[in-house]
Amino acid sequence: MTASHAPDEAGGQQPETGLRADAERNRDRLLAAARRLFARAGLGVSMASVAREAGVGKATLSRRFASREELINAVFADRMDAYAAAATAALADPDPWHGFTGYIHAVCAMQAADRGFADVLTMTFPAAKALEARRAEAYHGFLQLIGRAKDSGHLRSDFTSQDLVILLMANAGVVSATGDAAPDTGRRLVAHVLRSYATPGTPLPPLPDAPAPTALYRAMVRLGRSGTP
């Protein structure tokens, strides 16, 4: 009797196991597709486009990710971990001004590397609890960086945490507008802004070269063709 039941039990388990494996493969394909599209075009990409890129139907996408925010939370979880870790690393720097500027450079470089992440840092997603928790962690670390840099005498006393949000918004716009045409433009913007944050006499790194006129022209043509940043 035991032997005669074994095939039935195995047969009953196989489809369930297969369904779980299919579901996991579809989830991985959707995440990979969303990462590619968000990095290339920002968060304005539609959910239908993500499903098409992954080669699945919209119903499959809805089963794996019930909302857009749930998908964004999954796609950018590792990047938000790196964002929070950047603040921790900066706080460990014995030079408060170097830690502060290093954090700014690191975060803006993350934006430049991924257009979707550039958008994430300038938006809020209340339903994406894990993502917002990491954002809050990074923010509290940044408040400590501000205090240390001011105490060192190198950061202007009128600098506020809102100034970082303004910089991230500006950098996101530059990243979006220039794309591959003039990819280093944001580095010059950040360097100029950091100079405005510094008190007189503060040591500053060299200003990166300005983008070539032809590169900026290509970026302007690209921006004109797209109609939006």
Q: Where are the domains of the chain?
A: 2-75, 77-226
Q: Which pLDDT score, from 0 to 100, does residue 222 have?
A: 79
Q: Which CATH class is domain 77-226?
A: mainly alpha
Contact 194, 130 (CB under 8 A): no
Q: What is the pLDDT of residues 44-96, one digit of tens each?
A: 899 999 999 999 999 999 999 999 999 999 999 999 999 999 999 999 999 99
Q: Can you list the residues of the chain whose pLDDT is less than 50?
A: 1-14, 228-229
What's the confidence (pLDDT) of residue 51? 95
Please, what CATH class does the domain formed by 2-75 belong to? mainly alpha
pLDDT score for 18: 59
**Residue 9, pLDDT score:** 41
Q: Please, what sign has the CA dihedral across residues 102, 105, 109, 115?
A: positive
- pLDDT reported for residue 5: 46
* CA gap 98, 113 in Å, rounded: 22
Those residues whose C-beta lies under 8 Å from the C-beta of residue 177, and which sit 6 or more positions away, are 219, 223, 229
